[in-house]
Amino acid sequence: MSVSEIFKDATYSSENANPCMKERLLSLKCLDENNYKQEACKLYFDNYKNCNKFWKEVYFTRRQQGISPYLPEPEERAKIKDEYLKSMKK
């Protein structure tokens, strides 16, 4: 069983708790496919780190503003991400 398969089933790996699940699984898949050579998966790792950074910022901003839940539900995340990207283009 590969590492990505083991972690895929872990409880903390649910999409509700981790908005960067897709990026995480892609990173693990890259490692599996490249014999765990981390330098081959740098772009995947960077993408995962950026995703985590973004959602941590959303979490803390919502907490400061008293918006609950602090981490938006999966259904809301695409909208929040789109709004952020639109604001960056201005």
- In terms of pLDDT, which residue wins out, 33 or 90? 33
Instruction: Answer whether 32's CB lies under 8 Å from 4's CB.
Output: yes
Dump pLDDT digits (tens) for 29-86: 999 999 999 999 999 999 999 999 999 999 999 999 999 999 999 899 999 999 988 8
Residues 52, 57, 58, 59: is their CA dihedral positive or negative? Answer: positive
Residues 79, 81, 85, 90: is their CA dihedral positive or negative? Answer: positive
Instruction: Domain of residue 82: give its range.
Output: 3-89
Dump pLDDT digits (tens) for 10-29: 445 577 888 999 999 999 99
Which band of pLDDT confidence, cut at 50, 70 and 90, is reported for residue 1? very low
Quote the number of domains for the chain: 1
